[in-house]
Structure 1
Amino acid sequence: MFLEGKVKSYITDRGFGFIQVDGESKDLFFHIHDFPNKNFVPKIGERLKFLIVEDNGKLKADQIVRLDLKQSNFDDQANIATHFHIQQNASPRFNKNGRKGHIFSILGLIVIAVLAVKVYGKYQDYRQARQQKTEQLMQQQAKIVTQQRQALGDLPDHIISEQGKRNLEDHIYLTNKPRSEKVSASIDQQNAVQHQQASQFKCDGRTHCSQMRSYDEAVFFLRNCPNTEMDGDNDGEPCERQFGR
């Protein structure tokens, strides 16, 4: 016969408590395992319906029904238990296929990441090579400008820059020509430089190194003007100490 009562005490750590039975002076022992839903902890004063049974010579509550819990709580718990049961009993084949798909997805992401790193590395190498080539061309142009400044003396910077640019273009052109054409072009370029120097310098009576403004001017005077005194050791190189030769 079912009786009713309410929870009088409950020890959470040990999972048991006592029920105050309606119309009885003695409390009845209960254990959490005898509750239909163990996810909801018994509350003090909660109404229960139960049977009294004997267990190892002692009386306790059994087949406990929790009267204060709403039916919706039971329905929610039943749905959760059903969903958990379906997951636990799912087809092993389905679970195996799911794991395989997950592994393939991870492998695909790894492959994509590796390819992206390689492509980025090649792009960085290309940019670095292009930057080095540009720097080399700039260094060549600066060198040519310096040489032109020494050869032409104190001329405006924009004139020297234009001359250096033309010389750089000539250098690139000569680099890509056949050897025979390179030799011919080099000779033409030397003749052009000599002609330019001839038009730049002229014999005006100067004979000493201290009167020279550049090494190229001293060479011109030594080779083309009389009575110069700029090559004491007669080696064809004038004003060596002055111009650091």
Structure 2
Amino acid sequence: MEAVMNGIDSQKTYRGKIKTWNEDKGFGFVNVDELPRDVFLHISLLKHMSREPKQGDYVHVTVIEEAGGKLRASSGRIEGVVAKSTKPRGNHHKQHKQHKQHTRHRRSYSGKSDSRFARTVRSIIFLALVFVAIDAYQLYLGGGTTTVSDAPTQLEKQLAISPDTQPAKPRKPRQAQRSIFDEPEFTCDGRQHCSQMRSYEEALFFIRHCPNTKMDGDNDGIPCERQF
């Protein structure tokens, strides 16, 4: 239903000519032949146009009457001037902004992933080097240190050297040996091995007096070299 006041139809679009226009203040007045008074027109109603209005332009406006009988344009467009494609531009700008944000977020996430991956790789390499160093050090210690299990083997090699190339081994004083033989405190009871002897003197007594003993493999008169 149309709203008509004092002959002014607020739903109707009127065609008029811009009579005056103040560019600095952004408003002017439109002369419409059908209306008794000029219509006030503000620049804000023409922001959607591709250019600003100027004096002499024809415009199409809807009009409302204010208190005191003043007429004011409620909407308008410049005749022969295309409107700005504000929505497409706005959507395009919004899409472009979203694309930039997505790209920046993707780059930031990719940089974080790369940094995390690089730290993981460095940690793995560091741990591998630590294990290699430990293994090498243990191998070095194993090759350069004589263990307890190797000691008898080296002693046997030393004993296998010719008597001409090594100093003679010290023997027990003959007087001490004679005292053992003269006053024996051990008896042959069938024992044959060094592990069964309680002292060097006992082993010496067994290899001198007891048969089938196995405590002097190199027949040098010194029993149980490894044990005593």
Tell me the TM-score normalized by structure 1: 0.33
Relative contact order: is structure 1 or structure 2 higher (C-alpha 8 Å, sep ≥ 6)? 2
Rg larger in 1 or in 2?
2
Indicate the structure with greater helix content: 1
